[in-house]
A and B are shown apart, each in its own frame.
Chain A
Amino acid sequence: MLTNVTEVNPSNLHAEVFALQRKGHRFVTMTCSDLGDGFDVLYHFDLNYELRHLRLRLPLKEPLPSISDVFFAAVLIENEIKDMFGIDVQGMAIDYKGRFLLAEDAPRAPLLKTVGVPVDARIRPKQAPEGGQAS
């Protein structure tokens, strides 16, 4: 089971991440889950094969601060979270504007568990070509 979990909030996230970096932790990855009334964002770090997790409960429509200024390696995963959950991640070192993994006509935020709305119904309408009609 998951051990070594510390609860954080957007205001003290940076300080906690920076403290882990100072102790020599390596950034492993981030995991975001849709809880329905918000998001569960987990930050995973490693030191000598031991995992350390920071858990952030993010309310709906709240922005998520980027940690890519502390761990550059987080920038790709933050962009992926922006794609997959539609979360506004602020301050990323590289911002793909929601086009990191998903194509133009891919479903919007496909990992959201929107009850009663199938993923296919979230496909973006195709842009109409100039002088033509949208399909």
Chain B
Amino acid sequence: MSRRSIIPFGPQHPVLPEPVQLRLILEDEKVVEALPALGYCHRGVEKIVEKKDFVQDVYVTERICGICSFMHSMNYCQGIETIMGVEVPARARFLRVIWAELHRVHSHLLILGLTADSFGFENLFMQLWRAREIILGLMEKTTGSRILLSTCAIGGVRRDIPADLCAEIMRQLDTLEKQLEEVLPALVKDYSVKKRMCGVGVLPRDKAHELGAVGPVARGSGIKMDFRTTGYAAYGELEFEPIVETGGDCYARTLVRVREVTASINLVRQAVQKLPEGPILAPVKGNPNGETMNRIEQPRGELAFYIKGNGTKNLERFRARMPTYANLPPLLHMLTGCQLADVPVIVIAIDPCISCTER
């Protein structure tokens, strides 16, 4: 029998963007068991939300994540609007889609770059992050901030996008697409890239469902699940089809993200073209009283917020379930039986967001 050893992978590791530890039990170079150790960036956000009033909580929930921050405030606002029966103006719903999809593009480009970096393709990593700057620039132009936009509000949005900036968005998206046409084939077609990702970290469809996988991890295993198809915000008025791959390995998950970048650019274009005139914020009176669970499609998958109000300005309970949290049990399955050298690629391929997960 081979000798067993335990390797602490993280919390500080060159491939990890945020601190998390995986305790890997090895037999020679093969991982036979993996166990996550969390708690390195737990901030107690659920408690903070109870202490602030429900309007301030828009900005607290936005700070759960430093990558897809807008999605969190949007999900929170949608939940409060459901409880309070607020109807969001059409223009605000389209503006939410524009910022949400810009966030998805930059988040996917970020993780695709880190994926390239995880197997040592540093040039590709830099090219992808250079392309991502276009999106960050667009967000700065439309809101004054690159990541934490603070534009979502209960009842709509706080800022409008004027016609000249809409035209700028369309121009910049053209530029981005041209850049990606040159860069992305390296990630999709390169022999070395395929060698590192094809057949690595395989998650079969039934296992993905059983373990509760969400987002590109589930769609990479052939599960056609994308909450944008439920039609929240303005998605019901835009043409959209979920991206699904059936390989179930790291390559399939990466392919889903590559194709979703294009799909998101297309959604932003549609939303800009169909942007209706009208108000951007509906008046909100009173305090939330009731409970709901709201879900949206974040770049990493299903984002679920449970919100319970008691008729006062402070919420009774706020609970956030992040997609990375749901993807941790599938990750443990993927790691079992893999080679130690493949661990960084498998971990990065689920697009882990640890600050989200721990809140």
Q: Specify which chain A residues have a CB less than 8 angstroms from the CB of B6 in the assembled complex.
A: none
Quick one: which of A1, A28, A29, A110 contacts B44, CB cutoff 8 A?
A110
- Docked Cα-Cα span, A109 to B172, in Å, equals 49
Known: A1-B290, A2-B291, A101-B358. A31 touches B306 (CB 8 A): yes
With A1-B290, A2-B292, A76-B325 as given contacts, are A31 and B317 in contact (CB-CB < 8 Å)?
A: yes
| Interface residue from A26, A31, A53 paired with B212 (Cβ < 8 Å) | A26
Within 8 A of B (CB), among A86-104: 94, 99-103
Interface flag for B42 (CB, 8 Å): yes
On whether the beta carbons of B293 and A101 are closer than 8 Å, the reply is no
A8 within 8 A of B: no
* CB 8 Å contact bits of B22-57 with A (1 = contact, 0 = none): 000000000000011011001010110000000000
Q: A44-B304, A102-B42 are in contact. Are A119 and B326 (CB under 8 A)?
A: no
Instruction: Name the residue on A nearest B291 (C-beta).
Output: A2
Residue B293 contacts which of A51, A94, A99, A110 (CB distance < 8 angstroms)?
Answer: A51
Whether A72 lies near B211 (C-beta < 8 A) is: yes
B321 located at the interface, meaning its Cβ lies under 8 Å from any Cβ of chain A in the complex = yes
**Interface residues as binary, B312-329 with A (CB distance below 8 Å gives 1, 0 otherwise):** 000011010100011011
Does A101 lie within 8 Å of B39, measured CB to CB? yes
0/1 interface trace, chain A 55-79, chain B, CB 8 Å (1 if under): 0000000000000000111011100
CB distance from B312 to the nearest CB of A (A): 13
Which residues on B sit within 8 Å (CB–CB) of A102? Answer: 39, 42
Contact residues of B between 208 and 232, Cβ < 8 Å to A:
209-212, 225, 227, 229-230
Complex CA gap A64/B213 in Å reads 25
Q: Is B82 an interface residue (CB 8 A)?
A: yes
Using an 8 Å CB-CB cutoff, how does the interface string of B183-226 with A read, 1 for contact, 0 for none?
00000000000000000000000000111100000000000010
CB closest chain-A residue, reference B325: A76
The 8 Å CB contact of A1, one of B211, B292, B326, is B292
| Other-chain residue from B35, B210, B304, B328 in contact with A29 (beta carbon distance below 8 A) | B304
Q: Is the CB of A73 within 8 A of B326?
A: yes
Residue numbers in B under 8 Å from A44 (CB-CB): 293, 304, 306
Which residues on B sit within 8 Å (CB–CB) of A119? 47
- Distance to closest chain B CB from A3 (angstroms): 10
CB interface residues, A 20-68, toward B, < 8 Å: 24, 26-29, 31, 33, 42, 44, 49, 51, 53
Complex: A35 Cα to B292 Cα, angstroms? 17
Count of chain A residues near B, Cβ 8 A? 30
Check A2 against B211 for contact (C-beta < 8 Å).
Answer: no
| Complex: A77 Cα to B359 Cα, angstroms | 13
Determine if B149 is an interface residue (Cβ-Cβ < 8 Å): no
**A residues near B321, Cβ cutoff 8 Å:** 28-29, 77
Closest CB of chain A to B153's CB: distance in Å? 22
What residues of B have a CB within 8 angstroms of the CB of A24 in the complex?
A: 209
Please state if A26 and B308 are interface contacts (CB–CB under 8 Å).
no
State how many angstroms separate the Cβ of A50 from the closest Cβ of chain B. Answer: 10
- B209-A1 in contact (CB<8A): no
Most chain B CB inside 10 Å of its own CB: which residue of A27, A29, A33: A29
> In the assembled complex, which residues on chain A have CB atoms less than 8 Å from the CB atom of B234?
none
Which B residues are CB-close (under 8 A) to A28?
212, 302, 304, 321, 326
A-B contact pairs, 8 of them (CB 8 A): A1-B82, A2-B293, A28-B321, A29-B319, A49-B229, A53-B293, A77-B325, A101-B42
| 7 nearest A-B pairs in the assembled complex, by CB-CB distance | A29-B321, A73-B212, A31-B319, A33-B317, A73-B329, A31-B306, A101-B39
A-B contact sample (10 more), CB < 8 A, given A73-B326, A99-B39: A1-B83, A2-B292, A27-B212, A28-B304, A29-B319, A44-B293, A73-B329, A76-B328, A103-B39, A111-B46
